Amino acid sequence: MREAEEFATWLSEAAERIGAHSACCIRLDHPDLPVALAENHARVEAWLADGKQGEMEYLERMLPQKSDPWTTFPHAQAVIVLTFTNGWGDPEAVHPFPIPEMGAPIGYVSSYAREIDYHARGQAMLAELHTLLGREVEAEAAVDTKPVYERMFATLGGLGIIGANNLLRVPDRTNVRVFIGTLFVNADLPNVIHDVKMPFGCEDCLACIINCPTDAIRPGKPIDAPRCISYLTIEKRSVLSRVEAEMMGDWIFGCDECSNVCPPKEKIDSRIPVDLAWLLKQPAGEIRRTIKGNATAYAGVTQLRRNAVAMLKLREDPVAKELLGWTARQSGSALIQEQLRAW
């Protein structure tokens, strides 16, 4: 194994080559890891006990695995943690949705659904690691679909701090917008831990709290998921109430309000406009092909259409009424029909 300094240099350069923003490496025998995991686990348990997870029952189901990475990844000796920006916040970054025509009914997708889905980047880092070590290594890429406390590992590795909006803040970005990926590897790698220095602390800024339109973020409190627009549009899978639809506003996938103002600056509108008529009237298979590999594929076509229906039900214009009528006649989805009948 190369010396620690050489490995740290390689890790930084390899991260840049695969398009990552920053990287760290934490050995699973790091003495601070058990304490950090226990503290994080206690916070999550309290949050779950308070019922703030909404319909995300999988979070409670995954809790034992998240709190014990040594059992969840039994062959791993270290974890490489990567952050990615993925064009988040860049209005020029590409996305797969067709440009709406003038006057079309519009809903918005969060700007993080730009560029390719970052979930595939772990395999690129694994290929780099194979080259470094000169041999194949056993590894498992884990992102937000697997039982890992990604933010805890990222903060332990010195990649940033957790902001008041529960997102990872990194010190050398003009905003909070990064994703986190992890790669658990069966290789004897050295620790690469950074000394994080933030330009200012969250206690000096309440921008994300002030700009949250639903009060899902409150000072000193964990996120109230059932009030979060991202939760309502992505994670809540049942029928939306009128109050929930009103909280969603014009969003059909995600929300940029708390990340767009971190740190405080002139707001740039990098939302992705989507033609709701296109979303509701195009064949589902065509839409699936359009969003394949995009973050919106996680929600799926039916979920996006449910959100569009709930949004249109709050509009009084003739176009909205025509679209709802067409959908009522044409849709074979039980969820869509139930949303059409709600309130």
Give me the active site residues, please.
144
Sheet harboring 106-109: ordered strands across? 251-253, 106-109, 272-275
Name every residue whose Cβ is closer than 8 Å to that of residue 75 and which is 6 or more positions away in sequence: 138, 186
- CA dist 311 and 278 (Å) reads 15
Taking a C-beta distance cutoff of 8 angstroms, is the pair 254, 113 a contact?
Answer: yes
- Residue length, the chain? 343
- How many alpha carbons lie under 13 Å from residue 101 in its C-beta half-sphere? 3
CB atoms within 10 A of CB 284: 14
Cα dist from 88 to 229, 243, 259, 268, 334, whole Å: 18, 29, 10, 11, 34
Taking a C-beta distance cutoff of 8 angstroms, is the pair 141, 123 a contact?
Answer: yes
Name every residue whose Cβ is closer than 8 Å to that of residue 325 and which is 6 or more positions away in sequence: none
- CA dist 132 and 9 (Å) reads 12
Q: Using the 8-state DSSP alphabet, how is residue 27 labeled? A: E
Taking a C-beta distance cutoff of 8 angstroms, is the pair 250, 311 a contact?
Answer: yes
Peptide bond into 263 cis (omega under 30): yes
Q: Strands 106-109 and 251-253, how do they pair? A: parallel
**How far is residue 264 CA from its own chain's centroid?**
21
Residue 183 pairs in a beta bridge with 80, 141
Q: Using the 8-state DSSP alphabet, how is residue 36 labeled? A: H
Q: Which two tokens stand for residue 135?
A: 């041999």
